[in-house]
Amino acid sequence: MSGCPDINSLPDVNLAQIFEKLPYQKRLQIERVCKRWHHVAKSLSWSNFKTFDNGKYRNWSEPSIIQIKPFIEERCGRFLRHLTLRYWSPPVVLSFIRLAPQVQHLRLWSVKLMSEHIRELAQILPHLKSLDLEVSLWSEVRMGAMRPTLWQSKSAIKQQQDSMKHFQDMTSLEYLYIYEKTRFFDQNNLIQFPSSLKYLALYGINSADQILFWAEKQCKNLKGLRLTYFATRWLGTGIEFVFEALTELRALEIYSPDEKIISAITKSCKKLEHVNILDDSLIISAEKHANMLHLATLPNLCSVAIQASSYSKQQTTELVNRLIAKGNMQYIQIKTSDTPLESAVLFEILHHCKNIKTIDLHFNLLDVYLYSTIDQMVDEVGNGMMDKVNVLKILVQSSKCNAIMRRRCKAMPRMECHKSSNG
């Protein structure tokens, strides 16, 4: 186009900004255009390349990595801070990580790490703050290898269990997420966590009570805990006593807790600010519901998300009313399968929770007052009632209802209306 400057007339700084927006492989091709582009692309355009995920490059097999390593080392290795590696063997993973010694957030999936690998990983990345680890004994099956024998499996389990002792060598680690795909942990494991750990997430762990026992003893600054989708039930484990010791906990996400655990949380975790409960229990007992109501007694609690399949309408409404009465709620999310809330609850939240920022509710399709409630809210926009709400989400069950709601909500740009997937 006339009037547009030629790209070669741009200063090196502006040319580098253009190259920064290109994907990794395209940027390597740019270097072959001319000497100037080679210099700019290689020396000036990599400083913002802080994230790398080998899952985005499907043709990056292990042999091809050997060829590409010099390019990584010379260009972007020192700038990488977030690194995700999948399916590679531990030697290749470690050799790649050596090229990026400043990585702070590392995610390893289907990488079978043994004791010496964890120890070496701690030495290579002294500033590592976050480790996301998928524990899988069968990662080599995806690579086309033969399934190991029973003796080999037991040997691998023993080696991987020993590797859990070397987490303590990661002295800067603050976040640890372990995703277990096999029966990896047993009751005799000795887990050594770093004292710097602040957030622990466990997904699918069989003996979570044993891991939490060690975490409670070794991590005095533990402030966040996520316990999701366990293969076995908690009953009889005495895990409620572990929660009684987690007095510094600020955030908790937990899957199907029983009444003992909820009671321990409400009695001991007085500094708790964020709670996310995913419950698939077929029946909510009266004792469990009573303990759930006690969540409202936690003085600092300001964010609650509850996803449950069997809460009755009365139980759900009573819980929400208790939370509303606190007056300091900033985030409320309630999702139930068959017993949604009434629209009147929405106005109660807006009038009583002065600091509310996000409301995410599932309303009953048959609630004839919902439309009039939304109309009232539209009228209140001019009075500043909705100015404090950043996000308001409403889940409905039919396309027709969704369309009507969207038309009525045009006056409230921060309001979202979603159609339920089971509608």
Mean pLDDT of 249-265: 83
171 and 315 share one domain: no
CATH code at position 67: 3.80.10
pLDDT at 282: 67
Q: Domain for residue 239, yes or no?
A: no
Residue pair 332/349 in contact (Cβ under 8 Å)? The answer is yes
Q: Domain for residue 259, yes or no?
A: no
pLDDT at residue 334 above 60? Answer: yes
Distance, CA of 421 to CA of 423 (rounded, Å) = 6
Domain extent at residue 8? 1-45
Q: Domain for residue 309, yes or no?
A: yes
Using the 3D structure, point to which of 207, 232, 257 is the last residue of a domain.
232
pLDDT at 148: 42
Pull the structure tokens for residue 345: 């609850």
Q: Domain for residue 290, yes or no?
A: no
Q: Domain for residue 17, yes or no?
A: yes
Weakest mean pLDDT among 54-58, 93-97, 138-142 = 138-142
- How many beta carbons lie within 10 A of that of residue 220, not counting itself? 12
- Quick one: DSSP state of residue 200? E
30 and 74 share one domain: no
Burial of residue 160 (number of CB atoms within 10 Å: 0-12, 13-18, 19+): buried
CATH code at position 412: 3.40.50
335 and 212 share one domain: no
- How many beta carbons lie within 10 A of that of residue 202, not counting itself? 23
Weakest mean pLDDT among 31-35, 56-60, 87-91, 414-418 = 414-418
pLDDT at residue 105 above 90? Answer: yes
CATH code at position 27: 1.20.1280
Weakest mean pLDDT among 2-16, 222-236, 317-331, 349-363 = 222-236
Q: How many domains does the chain have?
A: 3
225 and 352 share one domain: no
Instruction: Find residue 306's DSSP bridge partners.
Output: 277, 334
What percentage of the chain reaches a pLDDT higher than 90? 4
160 and 213 share one domain: yes
32 and 61 share one domain: no
pLDDT at 409: 58
pLDDT at 106: 92
Q: Domain for residue 213, yes or no?
A: yes
25 and 69 share one domain: no
pLDDT band at 141 (very low <50, low <70, confident <90, very high): very low
Over residues 360-393, the pLDDT tens digits come to 776 554 455 565 666 665 555 545 555 555 566 6
pLDDT at residue 140 above 50? Answer: no
Distance, CA of 182 to CA of 202 (rounded, Å) = 13
Q: Domain for residue 395, yes or no?
A: yes
Mean pLDDT of 42-53: 77
75 and 199 share one domain: yes
83 and 121 share one domain: yes
